[in-house]
Amino acid sequence: MANTGISQYSSYHNKVSRNRATSEPAWIRWSLIITTLVFLSFFLFVPLLAVFTEALRKGLGTYIIALTDSDALSAIKLTLIAAAIAVPLNLVFGVSAAWAIAKFDFKGKSVLITLIDLPFAVSPVIAGLIYVLIFGLQGWFGSYLSDHDFKVIFAIPGIVLATVFVTFPFVARELIPLMQAQGKDEEEAGLVLGASGWQIFWHITLPNIKWGLLYGVILTNARAMGEFGAVSVVSGHIRGLTNTMPLHVEILYNEYNYAAAFAVASLLALLALVTLVLKSIVEWQVARNASINEHSN
């Protein structure tokens, strides 16, 4: 996921009109377009459509009952709690890491960047497993935790930890290239004029990185609310207590309660669509800002 950042979208130049020598005949053009659309239909559009059709198959009444069921509501609540903790934590980390990496030179910087990427390379199942090894009953802190009657695994803290792990790099990954490209001239000018570190950050850096920051937060939130594998390992699947929305979908599905499973799934699919819309708005904003800067230079 490393290369899907916002930075690539600022390069909407090079719109050269193409003549016959550098474009294809219409029949090739259209067969390529149609092949692409068929491929995307089988893998994207049809499955997406299936979520909503399956959800409404037994009518709107069943749909609403499935969503207002007390187990569903507590799953929604837990998903919101996990995201509400994981997103701010990784936001602060991302800004802090990007400040250190983009504004300063130090030894081992590229190693640090690679280490920040590690959670992307780790299977979600393993992300859950490592916290079981530490906080589980037989884990490092297992007996200490059970003596003090504090549960991490098969409880909310474990779910939050697993969510933090899988969404760890998103904000940092967006901000590091953005802040590296912006350099530090403006911050240094602020410093010369007597601004404090916080003033520089709030009045110079933050306005410059706000779109990248928002982009990172949107991606973090989407992944935090949708994470399945890692959360599945640490949750224990206790209905009404430690089930997030994706886990609730799994339980309903395995009980052959397909209409209810797809009803909850349709909420998550809506969340995904909202995420894509917000993402497109941010990308459009960035492209617009980039073209304004290009014209004013």
Q: Select from 174, 268, 164 the least CA-distant residue to 222.
A: 268
Q: Binding of another protein at residue 6 (CB under 8 A)?
A: no
Q: Binding of another protein at residue 23 (CB under 8 A)?
A: yes
Please state the closest distance from residue 144 (CB atom) to another protein, in A. Answer: 15
Please state the closest distance from residue 147 (CB atom) to another protein, in A. Answer: 20
Rounded Cα gap, residues 234 and 160, in angstroms? 10
Contacts of 243 (CB under 8 A, 6+ apart): 71, 74, 75, 78, 235, 237, 251
Q: Which of 29, 210, 239, 288 binds another protein (CB under 8 A)?
A: 29
Please state the closest distance from residue 20 (CB atom) to another protein, in A. Answer: 9
| Contact positions with another protein (CB under 8 A) in 115-174 | 115-126, 129-134, 136, 138-140, 161, 164-165, 168
Q: Binding of another protein at residue 39 (CB under 8 A)?
A: yes
Q: Binding of another protein at residue 181 (CB under 8 A)?
A: no
Q: Which of 194, 295, 296, 297 binds another protein (CB under 8 A)?
A: 194
Q: Binding of another protein at residue 285 (CB under 8 A)?
A: no
Rounded Cα gap, residues 124 and 113, in angstroms? 20
Give the long-range contacts of residues 90-94, CB within 8 A, separation 24 or more.
Answer: 90/164, 90/167, 90/168, 90/170, 90/171, 90/172, 90/220, 91/171, 91/213, 91/216, 91/217, 91/220, 93/168, 93/171, 93/172, 94/170, 94/171, 94/172, 94/173, 94/174, 94/175, 94/213, 94/216
Q: Which of 219, 263, 282, 286 binds another protein (CB under 8 A)?
A: 219
Q: Which of 72, 87, 91, 97 binds another protein (CB under 8 A)?
A: 97
Q: Binding of another protein at residue 268 (CB under 8 A)?
A: yes
Contacts of 103 (CB under 8 A, 6+ apart): 179, 184, 187
User: Of the listed pieces 60-68, 70-78, 254-262, 287-295, which binds another protein according to CB under 8 A?
Assistant: 254-262
Q: Which of 58, 69, 180, 253 binds another protein (CB under 8 A)?
A: 253
